A and B are shown apart, each in its own frame.
Chain A
Amino acid sequence: MSEPRVGVYVCHCGHNIAGTVDVEHVAEWAMGLPNVVVSRDNKFMCASTGQEQVEQDIKEFDLTHVVVASCSPHMHEKTFRNACARAGLNPYMFEMANIREHASWVHPNDRDGATNKAKALVSAAVHRVVHHQPLEPMVVSIRPETLVVGGGIAGIQAALEIADAGYHVYLVEREPSIGGHMAMFDKTFPTLDCSACILTPKMFDAGGHPNITLLSYSEVERVDGYVGNFTVQVRKKARKVDQDLCTGCGSCWDKCPIRIVDTVFEAGLGYRKAIYRPFPQAVPKYPVIDVENCTYFKTGKCRMCEKVCPTNAIRFDMEDEIVELEVGNIILATGFKLFDARRIPQYGYGRLENVFTSLEFERLTNAAGPTEGKIVLRDGETTPKTVAIIHCVGSRDRNFNTHCSAICCMSSLKFAHLVMEKTGAQVYNFYIDMRPIHKGYEEFYHRIMEEGAQFVRGKVSEITGVARSPEEDGKVIVVCEDTLIGHQRRVPVDMVILAAGLEPRADAQAVGYLFGVGCGDTGFFTERHPKLDPVATVTEGVFIAGACQGAKDIPDSVAQGAAAAARVLGTISRREVSLEPIRASIDEERCSGCRICNNMCPYHAIDFIEEKGVSRVNPALCKGCGTCVAACPSQVISGAHFTFDQLMAEIDGILVDVLSDRPIVEAV
């Protein structure tokens, strides 16, 4: 093989790099590095002139490898790989040195230090790149079916977009009905649309769509395979009701003698029966039997529902069923959990009678809720005359969640409007900052102020029932420093609503593990890139949408559901997808068959081939993390693009000056 010929390009990035790093000097110095045949500096490498320079030089100098020293590879690695490819060079014969984010921008007052570091990084890239091998992206075919996990508004939207485009969707929902949190709400901000009126048409569409198989009351248990070819095991929990016979007439739950507090849909304010349908518009319309509370399952007697069912649809002997699905892509839309307000004991929820959570209030004000929409105190009859709404409960608080829950400002304003409209009560909003950031939100805020709601800026320190004066007697007292007037205030009210924040689902970590999706520091699923790739994840073929990715309101959830669907449809219409060839492979000739790597792989991508006595990597399952590469005691696993030789050369290159007689600070 002929000697490698490396081209080095050092970018000024305007003043971004050149303002701190002596770019011309770095480029000149790089000429002295081994195998470098051309080294240039350029104002903007990412501009078309910069890219054309690379293309031209590849042809003119017959370059075999290219190094660009500019910004982070997360910004422009693809740009320059493409430039190489256009000039006929394999795109993986390229390496990037990050001298902007990792040098010029972080050492602004240390020109020598930044310049030396830039040289070290360029040297590392030059030493590394000559070990690069041409790689070809892996192409895998894509099954057209899609799995959507979670039947809230984000999941429904995603499922409908894909189904309407003509492809099949399996929509899996854990609860007996789809609809998610949105089905519990009364009105939506800022338009005050009736939540059910805008959601139920979508639910019915999803439930009756010829391209959607709805698996409600079901959970995903196992995921195998890889992008384009996932095999998913779903447990259909036994409803104990035959869906083919049931008409959803309701005789069974009318006659069922067992009444249970509904902690899921009615937020603990209302009741349901042991055989129940969570709410009237539920999709599917069939009820389920709550085996834990049903008299028949406890004592073997009753069978009332069976007696009254006109179509004999009750099946006490129905068992859970395991369904196996073959899908090409997966969208996770598993939603959020409401912050448990009991965790802030000084706010009195669960101890003071008339402290409500936001979800309880939603049910209270919902015409289909336990009070038929009447806003009353816990006694069930008294209408409140004064109501306090506490913002940021469990959000923006170091003790609980540091993130902003994004919806509470607006839902609190909505609550204020509903309370004033329905009861004429005086409303106090206790807020830290108002953040009505989307279209029409600021206008809604002004409208609520004009309607007469009071706004007190300050974090509530305590909510107490202990009165200090006659007018506080029998009231709930909100204690807070009003930071705008600089005074401590005690505001006695009849009712307190805690705008509880949004948290990741309690099992987000386990669900993430199942699908190969990580959780970030707030516990929500991590997207591939926070700005430029918000619905993809590091696992190819697995997308995230809605509040499982981070706290967000309905319009954002709908947008993400549609965005995830668009990504899925893109891969379906291409029929195949290219995967980064950063994969591990095992030299079977030298593999000792010790199987240490087998258990290392979190993706079960390494199989042991019994007849040969060696291990083998399934390249479609491998994600290229390299943990098996580092573990192999015989060093026969190679991690493409991060090989032992490449990384060793990079280490040698990055320390080129330290032991050498050619100090990095000296010019060539």
Chain B
Amino acid sequence: MSDNGTFTPVIVGFLCNWCSYRAADLAGTSRMGYPATLRDIRIMCTGRLDPTFVLRALQKGADGVLIMGCHPGQCHYQEGNYKAIRRFALLRRTLRQLGIADERVQLHWASAAEGVRFAQTVARVTEQIRQLGPLDWAHNWPNEDPYAVEEAVHE
């Protein structure tokens, strides 16, 4: 919460190296403003996105996660984004069961030429998560570290 009472969400972004990261670069070089809510991480392809990355980000206090890749059919690794779509569908089911609203974790596309689209997407997702309010997931877990439970089970 900032001082004036409006909530500023923290969103972790996973951007693919070839399209959406370059779209973000283009938004920068073209000086297209968007809210300073997105903290982005570069991965080579959305196909690299291990769903546990999303869970980790939420666990560590992010209010939302924005995954962005190349448009379907334009993946630089041919089909990585299709794999991301499939994994995302499964991830979303899991997140729903955990009570996480769909708007908090979103998958979008932006080509390297779509700086405007990138900026608009960040602004829109920010607004949606702002409406939902803070997630504060970490403090809603029974244990401090869900991985500790998992490890305990293995041991």
- A206 and B91 CA atoms in complex are apart in Å by 55
Contact with A along B22-54 (1 / 0, CB 8 A): 101101110111111111111111011111010
Separation in Å of the B33 CB from the closest CB of chain A?
6
Residue contact A582 to B111, C-beta cutoff 8 Å:
no
Contact with A along B6-20 (1 / 0, CB 8 A): 001010100000100
Contact with B along A652-667 (1 / 0, CB 8 A): 1011001100000000
Residue contact A625 to B57, C-beta cutoff 8 Å:
no
**Nearest residue, chain B, Cβ from A658:** B61
**Nearest residue, chain B, Cβ from A113:** B36
- A102 and B35 CA atoms in complex are apart in Å by 11
- A607 and B37 CA atoms in complex are apart in Å by 43
- A629 and B114 CA atoms in complex are apart in Å by 28
**B80 — which chain A residues lie within 8 A by C-beta?**
602, 625-627
Residue contact B44 to A648, C-beta cutoff 8 Å:
no
- A74 and B22 CA atoms in complex are apart in Å by 8
Separation in Å of the B58 CB from the closest CB of chain A?
10
With A72-B25, A650-B41 in contact, do A519 and B74 touch (Cβ < 8 Å)? yes
Most chain B CB atoms below 10 A, which of A102, A600, A652 = A102
**B79 — which chain A residues lie within 8 A by C-beta?**
602
**A648 — which chain B residues lie within 8 A by C-beta?**
53, 56
Separation in Å of the B92 CB from the closest CB of chain A?
16
Q: Which of A115-123, A320-328, A393-401 touches B?
A: A115-123
**Nearest residue, chain B, Cβ from A630:** B50
- A202 and B24 CA atoms in complex are apart in Å by 44
Interface residue? A570 (CB, 8 A): no
Contact with A along B90-124 (1 / 0, CB 8 A): 00000000000000000000011110000100000
Selected from A114, A516, A626, A655, the residue in CB contact (under 8 A) with B43 is A626
With A520-B113, A642-B43 in contact, do A106 and B77 touch (Cβ < 8 Å)? no
Selected from A109, A521, A627, A650, the residue in CB contact (under 8 A) with B48 is A627
**A105 — which chain B residues lie within 8 A by C-beta?**
28-29, 31
Separation in Å of the A509 CB from the closest CB of chain B?
7
Separation in Å of the A78 CB from the closest CB of chain B?
14
Interface residues on B, range: 35 or more
**A74 — which chain B residues lie within 8 A by C-beta?**
21-22, 25
Residue contact A102 to B47, C-beta cutoff 8 Å:
no
**Nearest residue, chain A, Cβ from B114:** A521
- A484 and B79 CA atoms in complex are apart in Å by 48
Separation in Å of the A429 CB from the closest CB of chain B?
30
Contact with B along A617-645 (1 / 0, CB 8 A): 00000011111011100000001001010
Residue contact B28 to A72, C-beta cutoff 8 Å:
yes
Residue contact A655 to B57, C-beta cutoff 8 Å:
yes
Selected from A107, A639, A651, the residue in CB contact (under 8 A) with B41 is A651
Residue contact B47 to A626, C-beta cutoff 8 Å:
yes
Selected from A73, A106, A650, A655, the residue in CB contact (under 8 A) with B27 is A106
Residue contact B31 to A108, C-beta cutoff 8 Å:
yes
**A72 — which chain B residues lie within 8 A by C-beta?**
21, 25, 28
With A624-B44, A655-B12 in contact, do A509 and B73 touch (Cβ < 8 Å)? yes
With A100-B28, A623-B77, A648-B53 in contact, do A654 and B39 touch (Cβ < 8 Å)? yes
**Nearest residue, chain B, Cβ from A104:** B28
Interface residue? B85 (CB, 8 A): no
**Nearest residue, chain A, Cβ from B62:** A655
Interface residue? A297 (CB, 8 A): no
**B51 — which chain A residues lie within 8 A by C-beta?**
630
Selected from B24, B61, B83, B111, the residue in CB contact (under 8 A) with A600 is B83
Interface residue? A647 (CB, 8 A): yes
Separation in Å of the A115 CB from the closest CB of chain B?
9
**B130 — which chain A residues lie within 8 A by C-beta?**
none
**Nearest residue, chain B, Cβ from A111:** B36
Separation in Å of the B146 CB from the closest CB of chain A?
13
- Seed contacts A518-B78, A626-B44; 5 additional CB < 8 Å A-B pairs: A518-B75, A600-B47, A631-B83, A639-B48, A651-B56
- List 5 interface pairs A-B (beta carbons < 8 Å), by A numbering: A72-B21, A74-B25, A105-B29, A107-B34, A658-B10
Q: Which 9 A-B pairs have the closest CB atoms?
A: A101-B28, A113-B36, A626-B48, A627-B47, A658-B61, A625-B77, A105-B28, A625-B45, A602-B78
